[in-house]
Amino acid sequence: MKKNTFETSLKRLEVIVDEMENSQLDIDKAMKLFEEGVSLVNDCSAKLDETKKKIEILVEKNGKIEKEKFVRNENEN
Amino acid sequence: MVDLFDFESSNNNNDDGKKIYSVSEINNEIKIILEDSYPVVWISGEISNFKTYSSGHMYFNLKDENSQISAVMFSGYNQKLNFIPKDGIQILVFGKITSYVQRGTYQIQVSYAKEIGIGSLQEMFEKLKNKLETEGLFDHKYKKQIPYIVNKVGIITSKDGAALHDILSVLDRRFSNIEVLIYSVRVQGNEAKYEIAKAVEYLNANYKDLDVLLVGRGGGSLEDLWAFNEEIVARAVFNSKIPVISCVGHEVDFTITDFVSDLRAATPSVAAEMVAKNRIDIEDKLTMLKKAITEKIANIIFLAEEKINKFKTCRALSKPYLIYEDKMMYIDELKDKLVNSIKKVYEDKKSSLQTEIQKLNLLSPLNILQRGYSVCFDEKGSLIKKSEQLLKDDTVNLKFSDGTVKAKVL
Helix and strand element counts for chain A (H, E): 2, 2
Exposure letters B92-119 (e unless 16+ CB within 10 A, then b): bbebebbbebeeeebbbbbbebebbbbe
pLDDT tens-digit map of A19-69: 887 767 777 888 888 888 888 888 888 877 777 778 899 987 777 888 888
Distances (CA, A) of A55 to A69, B178, B196, B280: 6, 8, 20, 19
Q: What is the CATH number of the domain that holds B96?
A: 2.40.50.140
Same domain as B113, residue B77: yes
* B304 touches A: beta carbon within 8 Å: yes
Same domain as B153, residue B231: yes
Taking Cα atoms as reference points, which of B117, B41, B44, B111 lies closest to residue B78?
B111
Same domain as B234, residue B176: yes
Same domain as B156, residue B263: yes
* B342 touches A: beta carbon within 8 Å: no
Interface test with chain A among B289, B303, B306, by most A beta carbons within 10 Å: B289
DSSP line for B305-343: HHHHHHHHHSHHHH-HHHHHHHHHHHHHHHHHHHHHHHH
Rg (CA), chain B: 64
Same domain as B94, residue B202: no
Same domain as B157, residue B256: yes
pLDDT for residue B321: 74
* B308, B314, B320, B321: CA torsion to nearest 10: 170
Contact B108, B70 (CB under 8 A): yes
Same domain as B159, residue B79: no
Contacts of A72 in chain B (CB under 8 A): 168
pLDDT tens-digit map of B93-123: 999 999 999 999 999 999 999 888 655 677 7
A30 with B297: Cβ contact below 8 A: yes
- Closest approach of A40 to chain B, Cα-based (Å): 9
More confident residue, B374 or B5: B374
Which of B181, B282, B286 minimises the CB distance to A56? B181
Q: What is the CATH number of the domain that holds B195?
A: 3.40.50.10550
Q: Is residue B249 part of a domain?
A: yes
Q: Is residue B153 part of a domain?
A: yes
Evaluate if residue B73 carries a pLDDT over 90: yes
**Of B209, B242, B276, which residue constitutes the final position of a domain?**
B276
Mean pLDDT, residues B62-80 taken together: 90
pTM of the model: 0.53
d(CA B398, CA B369): 11
pLDDT band at B49 (very low <50, low <70, confident <90, very high): very high
Number of domains in chain B: 3
B297 with A58: Cβ contact below 8 A: no
Q: How many CB pairs under 8 A join A and B?
A: 107
Mean pLDDT, residues B155-172 taken together: 92
Among chain B residues, CA nearest to A15: B289
B296 with A45: Cβ contact below 8 A: no
Q: Is residue B26 part of a domain?
A: yes
B296 with A72: Cβ contact below 8 A: no
Reported ipTM: 0.71
* B221 touches A: beta carbon within 8 Å: no
pLDDT tens-digit map of B302-335: 888 888 888 777 766 777 777 777 777 888 888 8
**Of B120, B155, B170, which residue constitutes the final position of a domain?**
B120
Same domain as B172, residue B89: no
A6 with B148: Cβ contact below 8 A: yes
d(CA B74, CA B109): 8
Domain of B47, in residue numbers: 15-120
Contacts of A13 in chain B (CB under 8 A): 286, 289, 293
Q: Is residue B296 part of a domain?
A: no
- Residue B395 forms beta bridges with which residues? B408
A27 with B176: Cβ contact below 8 A: no
Same domain as B116, residue B141: no
**Of B87, B120, B153, which residue constitutes the final position of a domain?**
B120
In this prediction, what percent of chain B has a pLDDT beyond 70? Answer: 94
Q: Is residue B393 part of a domain?
A: yes
